[in-house]
Amino acid sequence: MSYRSDLYQKTALVLKALAHPIRLCIVHGLLKKGPCNVSCMENCIKASQSGISQHLARLRSAGIVKSERCGNEIYYEIASEDIKDLIVSIFNEDE
């Protein structure tokens, strides 16, 4: 077994970012529904818009979600197939 510090550091960062119920709910919702804006998430998650935005910032900095501006709105989606596979695995379900 070899120790690959970079791999373990990146994986730990992703797992730490996911280790919150609201962030798990956000990524699970993005997996199920596809790209969403904060207003859409606010309707589904019982949290404030600013709270959701803070969670999204943490997910974005960990490379879990990415964002795209469309007019005045920002839409978020899962950043990669690897992350999608991880979320599917966590919830033990098919996409």
What does the pLDDT read at residue 52?
96
What does the pLDDT read at residue 46?
84
pLDDT, one tens digit per residue, over 19-78 is 999 999 999 999 999 999 999 999 888 889 999 999 999 999 999 999 999 999 999 999
Domains in the chain, number: 1
Q: Distance between CA 87 and CA 84 in Å, rounded?
A: 5
Residues 6+ away with beta carbon under 8 Å from 18 = 24, 27, 64, 90
What does the pLDDT read at residue 95?
52
DSSP 18-71: H-SHHHHHHHHHHHHH-SB-HHHHHHHSSS-HHHHHHHHHHHHHTTSEEEEEET
* Domain of residue 63, residue span: 5-91
Please give the model's pTM, rounded to 2 decimal places: 0.87
30: domain CATH number is 1.10.10.10
